[in-house]
Amino acid sequence: MYVSKKLVSALKDPFIKKIILLVVILGIIPLIVHHTYVLNIIILTMLFGYLAIAWNIIGGYTGQFSLGHSAFIGLAAYLALILQLNLNISPWISMLICGLVGAAVGVGIGYPAFRLRGIYFSLVTIAFPETLKHIFLYFREYTGGPRGLSVPLIGESLYYFQSYSKNLYYYFILGMIVIILCVAKKIYDSKFGLYLFAIREDEDTARSIGIPVTVYKLKAMAISAFFTSIGGVFYMEYIRYITPTIVYDLALSIEIAIIAIIGGMYSVWGPLLGAFILEPSLLLIYSFVGGTYAGAPLLIYGALLIIIILIMPEGVIGLLKRRRVS
């Protein structure tokens, strides 16, 4: 009786209702859409939505504008693939390993970087993936250098997280979306989240009322890096090919941040909304333009960022909330 009451109470929660609706809508798509290209766009959109929600914990909630999250994606992708190639470790196990390694690295980088604020912090975070990119290009014996590394094609293998069908990847990233949304919501509604918001609004005031600012920044960075690293392993297994210039690309970090900004950094759902607005259009542009105009995506990012800051500083979700209130 107690369990059933708890279940009924949970189902009345607006957030749970939205999660169920999301799962139902996205869950039936592979059952009715069999076009590989369309499914690929949706999978990549969900992946970037997942990465943007993870980034938002440090960038939106805490106000620490990191532009180096591609470092966690690249580290996790390479570490998982090297573990698979040399030690035959399953990607399922690597996700946990890489998540913990990413969290530790995030804390290690964050501790000195958090002494800086604003643009200076952002510049430090940019330097981190750029440094890793050159290190991984140099040690080509282990990383493949500029040629990168390929994931061995095994075929249908749940152990190696491989399938000829895209459904395995589709439903896995959908499950990860649900998990990261629940984590983001839990933080948003908790005292921990209130401390992060206080740090974002005024770090000096937060410190003056007794909030251990650095400790909470490091906690937020660890959580963000943990989930971003798991996303990096998924990215590697799905794309099946990685190079330092791809996974440590500055444009990748900027894209993740812009998705959250467009959707709304100060909300749980904003980054996911931003992904479904931005990613399909960008992927279509990539497919039509190809390598002809290599700088086009960065120009698009810049233009979108200026428009959002001027017209919708709280993102699309902030605009929707204002219209609903009015």
- Confirm whether 256 is domain-assigned: no
- My answer on whether 203 and 89 are in the same domain is yes
CA dihedral 187, 64, 206, 322 (to 10 degrees): -70
233 in Cβ contact with 80 (< 8 Å): yes
Q: What total of structural domains would you count in the chain?
A: 2
Nearest to 48 by CA among 317, 248, 285, 282: 282
- Answer with the one of 190, 216, 249 that is the final residue of a domain: 249
CA dihedral 98, 50, 266, 301 (to 10 degrees): 100
CA of 295: how far to CAs of 53, 251, 292, in Å? 26, 10, 9
pLDDT tens profile 256-272: 998 999 898 889 999 99
Rounded to a whole number of angstroms, the distance between the first and last alpha carbons of the chain is 42
Task: Return the axis-axis angle of helices 36-59 and 213-239, rounded to nearest 10°.
Answer: 170
- My answer on whether 107 and 26 are in the same domain is no
Q: Amino acid identity, residue 196?
A: L
- My answer on whether 101 and 160 are in the same domain is yes
pLDDT tens profile 205-239: 999 999 999 999 999 999 999 999 999 999 999 99
- My answer on whether 55 and 159 are in the same domain is yes
Residues in the chain: 326
Q: Amino acid identity, residue 176?
A: M
Q: Report the distance separating Cα 260 and Cα 119, nearest Å.
A: 18
- My answer on whether 13 and 65 are in the same domain is no
- Confirm whether 81 is domain-assigned: yes
If you ran DSSP here, which 8-state letter would residue 145 be given? G
- Confirm whether 234 is domain-assigned: yes
- My answer on whether 138 and 11 are in the same domain is no
User: Which pTM does this prediction carry?
Assistant: 0.92
- My answer on whether 10 and 59 are in the same domain is no
Nearest to 266 by CA among 59, 64, 32: 59
- My answer on whether 20 and 86 are in the same domain is no
- Answer with the one of 202, 218, 249 that is the final residue of a domain: 249
- My answer on whether 78 and 221 are in the same domain is yes
Residue ranges making up the domain that contains 10: 1-32
- Confirm whether 271 is domain-assigned: no
- Average pLDDT value over all residues in the chain: 88
- 93 has a pLDDT exceeding 80: yes
Q: Lowest mean pLDDT of 33-37, 49-53, 56-60, name the range.
A: 33-37
- Answer with the one of 208, 224, 249 that is the final residue of a domain: 249
pLDDT tens profile 138-190: 988 888 888 999 998 888 888 999 998 899 999 999 999 999 999 999 999 99
Q: Report the distance separating Cα 20 and Cα 27, nearest Å.
A: 10
In this structure, is the dihedral angle defined by the CA atoms of residues 224, 185, 265 and 169, taken in order, positive or negative? positive
